[in-house]
Structure 1
Amino acid sequence: MNDRELHRKLAELKEIAARENIDIRADLSKITDKISGRGEEAEVLDAWKRVTLARHPNRPTALHYIKQMSENYIELHGDRAFGDDPALVGGICTIGGQSFTFLGHQKGANMKENLYRNYGMAHPEGYRKALRLAKQAERFNRPILTLIDTPGAYPGLAAEERGIGEAIARNLRELSVLDVPIICVIIGEGGSGGALGIGIGDHIVMLENSVYSVISPEGCASILLRDSKRSQEAAALLRMTSYDLKSFGIIDSIIPEPMGGAHADPTYMADRLRDEILRVLQNLRTRRPEQLLKERSRRLLNLGVFREDSVPRKSNIFSRFFKAD
């Protein structure tokens, strides 16, 4: 058995463990250390290492997965109001004989492509295009698949002038009441409202080394820790990894990656993602539309925790990073 086959077997073992909610990361770390002979390849990675893997320039993109997973796909363009946004792609594809409407943030593979795709940071017309296609999916009773990979929505002046906040807010409202199954997959970065703009669904999947957070580690370090150099520390405090979010109930399943990240074996990752999408859809298809909406609403309302207590502020987790004025 060669190294690639061995790593695939380990990934399959991790997938079974994740599905059964069994934490075997420490044991897998020992195995991978013995295989590779290098401690830095251990599968128990810290938060910052996962951030760097999620941002790796060779990491497979949304269009890569769609082309690999689907028998055919047709990309659709434009929001019918302003224009088209290359940073947020969408269209119709067939996966395992099942038609889907797909939506996804698209990053580039090189500098030229990244400039064209705006590094996966969508403008308002991107989110309006996504909503147009989602409404079309509902009309034709097609399930929706979203592939999320963005540091956030584009924060520039043009985006503000064209109503980026309104576009994302409208998507949150409308996606929450569509009566077709919605499967959301975080394939790289899931950043802030930019991710949520196509991230409302019935089942949320994360690739193992993807991240999902309300703010980037750099932004958290600058704003909350008051030191932009403490981004690695901020990444750990944000609890933004797939395993953290699974333990909080924010996501539903994790797809393990080969050692070294998804880019180490893109074909294998596309196959595993395809299998997971079809498995989840088969489960969601057993629900009537009204049941689907009820469960989606319950899911959204149960996210997060609110607590009031009399603990002094000095005991707050962030208090040790702030100095009294």
Structure 2
Amino acid sequence: MAVNYNAEPILTVNGLKQYFKVSNTFTVKAVDNVSFKIYPGETYGLVGESGSGKSTIGRSIIRLYDPTAGEIHFNGRDISGKLSRADNQALRTQMQMIFQDPMASLNPRKKVRDILGEGLDIHHLYKTKEERETIIKNILAKVGLAPEHAARYPHQFSGGQRQRVGIARALIMNPKLIIADECISALDVSIQAQVVNLMKDIQEETGLAYLFIAHDLSMVKYISDRIGVLHLGHLLETGTTDEIFANPVHPYTRSLLSAIPEPNPRLEKDRKSVTYDYATSGIDYNVGSYHSMGGQHQVFGTDEEIQKWTKEKF
């Protein structure tokens, strides 16, 4: 579906910081001054290597972690500080998360019927048991599972089916935003395609937005409208999918894209990977600001760095 970038964003993250104090002398700065927006009906892909802070951002936004600093506005509400009862109610119903491991995120002692119905029970979203059962069967059908699957336990499903249960658990609350935290990384490639196509179909039908966290650039390119590139807790570059893949400006983004293998063996033979080492790059992520490259494309760096990278690229 076409995304209206003139509309009000469904999610605005401004200057988000998430620090973890390990000892009196050492603090891990997992996320440092990250800002981005997600619009209704949009899929925003967040990519980066392991340990870059992708999952931490998702967990901070949905308030599994209390942010160290920064502002998070969701659907017109400020959810960055202490949550009121109304804010908490809105957040727990209108924002949902699909976790990375479909086995670890599902209670092994509960049947699928009770896993899916837990949110309905907590927020009193049905009047009769028959209505509850109807809602559960409808959501199972939407994710490609049969009504009889409601009586099974998680261990009785394949990995792909378990992830469909995870998607159903998120969808049953009828959210406006779903945070998909590497939700396909534990699945086979063929199953990954099925799950991503299912997510796209549901988005077309309901108009919800996704924050799609992943390190598979090919899949991010397929599903995302815009992409943010994360490294060492800093958002280095953000733009539309076409802008990022056709015109990567930041050297880290170029190194990521150069690592994508080519399916054609002749092209793969001549492919050259670009190396990037932050320690020797001479770049300081704590200095500088976002520079607009036109449209939705923004790159983080000082004026001198941006000019240098642009000259190297062109």
Q: TM-score, normalised by structure 2?
A: 0.32
Q: Which has the higher contact order (CA 8 A, sep 6+)?
A: 2
Name the one with the larger strand percent.
2
Structure with greater helix percent: 1
TM-score by length of 1: 0.31
